[in-house]
Homo-oligomer: A and B are copies of this chain.
Amino acid sequence: MPAKTAAKPKKSASLAVEDVSRKPQQGRSKASLERMLAAARELMLERGNEDFTLQDVSQRGNVSIGSIYLRFESKDNLVRAVIADALDAISAEETTMLAALTPQCTSLGDFVPRYVESYAEVLRINAPLLRLSMQRAASDPLVSGPGKAHAMRAASQGTEAMMAFRDEIAGDDPERKALSSYHIIFATLARQLSLGSTGESVHDYDWRDLKRELGRMCLAYLRAA
Contact = CB atoms under 8 A, between A and B. Distances in A.
Interface residues of A, number: 57
A197 B195 contact: yes
B213 A176 contact: yes
Contacts of A181: 217
A141 B199 CA distance: 8
Question: How many monomers of this protein are in the complex?
Answer: 4
A54 interface: no
Given A141-B2, A151-B203, A205-B155, A197 B196 contact: yes
Closest 5 CB pairs of A and B: A196-B196, A187-B191, A196-B197, A180-B213, A217-B221
Contact of A147 (B180, B198, B216): B198
A139 interface: yes
A3 B223 CA distance: 46
B139 A202 contact: no
A155 B192 CA distance: 14
A131 interface: yes
A172 interface: no
Interface string A150-177: 0110010000000000000000000011
A190 interface: yes
A162 to B, nearest CB: 13
A179 interface: yes
B204 A152 contact: yes
Contacts of A203: 148, 151-152, 155, 183
Contact of A209 (B51, B152, B176, B218): B176
Contacts of A148: 198, 202-203
